[in-house]
Copies of this chain bind each other. A is one copy, B any other.
Amino acid sequence: MRNIKLILAYDGTEFHGFQTQPNLRTVQGVLQQTVEDVVGHSVSIIGSGRTDAGVHARGQVVNFATSSRIPIEKWPIVLNTKLPDDVVVQHAELVPDDWHARFCAIGKEYRYRIDRSPYTDVFWRKYSHHVPYPLRLEPMREAAGHLVGRHDFTSFCAANTPVVDKVRHLHVVDLIEEGSLLTIVCRGEGFLYNMVRIIAGTLLDVGRGKLSPDQIPDILASCDRTQAGVTAPAKGLTMWKVFYAESSGLIP
């Protein structure tokens, strides 16, 4: 058996999230079916982590074991020919037998995209959250700075999450402007459920003056989900990159 790692990009709009669910179109389900059609045996697709319905990916990582002898460099084209056009294999490589897309991951980068046009940018409507009111970036950057580091992110995690340890280490929380698009970059060792979308919702509250950057440390300290901003819409979020080695750029 060979262990194959794939890097996937997908448009999450028409998927019910990454993880297989009965009778629903999911990325894992579509990919598994396609791989099984190609290799002629059942496979188990392991993802680096789930993405919710409507969330996109530029660099989701998966692996699976197969007896197929298809040369590794042919995998992207073989799969892309059969996959629907909203999921694209960007890269394939052979990895050691014990390599695991989730357990070997040491960090992730997510990006949350905001469209600041007065009226929706039609070409970004599915990949961004439209925010037509003015945003002040300096307070947003200051607030972002308070989130960097090792913190208990209970206030930035969906309230009903079963995870006990909600301490996470964020290495980067950055804002990138490209024309009317504003992108929040979050890079860290791990993320809680809805964490980036709650960070985005909270930074938007800062940008519109509803929260002050100085309140962020108090919000973190409160360990109370109701103190942070709303969960920003799924369509603005993209799983950008998964990191697998310290040298890979996780830590700036």
Contacts and interface: CB of A to CB of B under 8 A. Distances in A.
Contact of A125 (B85, B89, B119, B120): B85
Number of copies: 2
Contact of A88 (B58, B76, B87, B119): B119
A120 B76 contact: no
Interface in A1-27: 9-11
A11 B119 contact: no
A164 interface: no
Interface in A151-189: none
Interface in A116-135: 117-123, 125, 127
A119 B56 contact: no
A32 interface: no
Nearest to A85: B125
Nearest to A89: B119
A120 B86 contact: no
A90 interface: yes
Contacts of A77: 119
A107 to B, nearest CB: 23
A11 B89 contact: no
A17 B120 CA distance: 21
A242 to B, nearest CB: 17
17 contacts: A9-B121, A9-B123, A11-B125, A58-B123, A76-B118, A77-B119, A80-B119, A80-B120, A85-B125, A86-B125, A87-B122, A88-B119, A88-B120, A88-B121, A89-B119, A90-B117, A123-B127
Given A85-B120, A86-B125, A87-B122, 15 more contacts: A9-B122, A11-B122, A11-B123, A56-B123, A76-B118, A76-B119, A77-B119, A80-B119, A80-B120, A85-B125, A88-B119, A88-B120, A88-B122, A88-B125, A90-B119
Interface of A: 9-11, 56, 58, 76-77, 80, 85-90, 117-123, 125, 127
